[in-house]
Structure 1
């Protein structure tokens, strides 16, 4: 009887340990920032004009660089993690004005074309890239 209790206790402990390890790996992966180092070169703005956006570059689940037609880069660091954004690297948005603004929502587009999670944007901070990706 004692052997069964000990075996059951060890099995339960092993499952708890595996669960903790899995959660730890997920948390570490979740917090990975892959955006290249940059220097802030001006005051944040709340909106950017859609017709001035040349391209976007998604770095991770938190960071999108908006490359503008005048060679300005605005970095948008999302206020919360946007699950699978860094993996999919594609997003869509729908606005009623000609601007994309802080607090507007983006939706991750998955590889199979299904809409993913919806996430809010932060302020647009003008940057200059200073180094290689971390």
Structure 2
């Protein structure tokens, strides 16, 4: 590759390096804790999950009730991958259970870090 105008190339590199990627600001948390935390939630009632970060998962139930699980420790890549699996022999997911982050690696999902769950805190929309 030949460079006809080295000053133009330098300017292009400088502009490229000086542009910082836009970082999305985290939206304010719309929920507040309501009531006592519980050790388990019924698996059949889980409608969906929302991974908020490496330590926080909101479990949305069929009744639209939300239980927030704050893991005792950060779980590497959970907030980035936003997906996990779990195994239990019970019909409930409990604070003693382990989740495994699922990585998108090649032709399928691969297991990543395994992390323990915390208690399930009922949440409700914050009053405006």
TM-score of the two chains, using structure 1 as the length reference: 0.69
How many residues are aligned here? 99
Q: Structure 2 CA distance, aligned partners of 1:120 and 1:67? A: 19
Q: Structure 2 CA distance, aligned partners of 1:35 and 1:106? A: 26
Does residue 96 (structure 1) correspond to residue 92 (structure 2)? The answer is no
Q: Structure 2 CA distance, aligned partners of 1:129 and 1:88? A: 26
Q: Aligned ranges for residues 111-130 of structure 1 at < 5 Å?
A: 111-112=104-105, 113-130=109-126
TM-score of the two chains, using structure 2 as the length reference: 0.73
Residue matched to 1:105: 98
Structure 1 ranges of 4+ moved more than 3 A: none
TM-align CA RMSD:
1.7
Kindly indicate which of the two structures has a greater share of residues assigned to helix: 1
CA contact (8 A) 1:66 1:76 kept: yes
